Amino acid sequence: MAPPRHQRPRRLARPYTIIGGRSLAAGWNLPVEAQVARTDLGEQRLPRLAFEAREIVLLSSEPVSLAELAARLRVPLGVARVLVSDLALEGLVSVDRGAGDERPGVILLERVLHGLRAI
């Protein structure tokens, strides 16, 4: 269980420095509901990963949405997009973008709302 917000260490690096000033996600256009899951390679390389990359791989042991990852890491959605796309290009996580242009269903929206309330 994560420590209460007031006990968590504060991030020293600004979000744009975490991603090297990039704003585009390496050719990926990831929707907020994209599901991110750790791969076997990600599990193998977990001990060698650092900082946010390690947290993303740890948090994605089960499929988790890009929006939830951003919230849990306490970074802007654009930063999470770049980090996840980098990890996906390395084969450390897999990304399921969902049904494409279709609108999300009620069940998905309820799950997102429940997850946000739990944070």
90 vs 93: CA distance, rounded Å: 8
Residue 48 has pLDDT above 70, yes or no: yes
pLDDT tops 60 at residue 72: yes
Identify the pLDDT of residue 66: 93
H, E, C per residue of the chain: CCCCHHHCCCCCCCHHHHCCCCCCCCCCCCCCCCEEEECHHHHHHHHHCCHHHHHHHHHCCCCEEHHHHHHHHCCCHHHHHHHHHHHHHCCCEEEECCCCCCCCCHHHHHHHHHHHHHC
Considering the chain, what is the average pLDDT of its residues? 79
CB 19 within 8 A of CB 83: yes
Q: State the pLDDT at residue 74.
A: 87
- Contact by Cβ (8 Å): 58, 87: no
Q: Quick check: 109 pLDDT over 60? A: yes
pLDDT cut 90: percent of the chain above it: 36
Examine the pLDDT at 8 and tell me if it is beyond 90.
no
**pLDDT in the model for residue 12:** 45
State residue 78's pLDDT score.
84
CATH of the domain spanning 31-118 = 1.10.10
Tens digit of pLDDT for each residue in 9-46?
Answer: 545 455 545 555 455 555 567 888 899 999 999 999 99
Tokens of 51: 């900082």
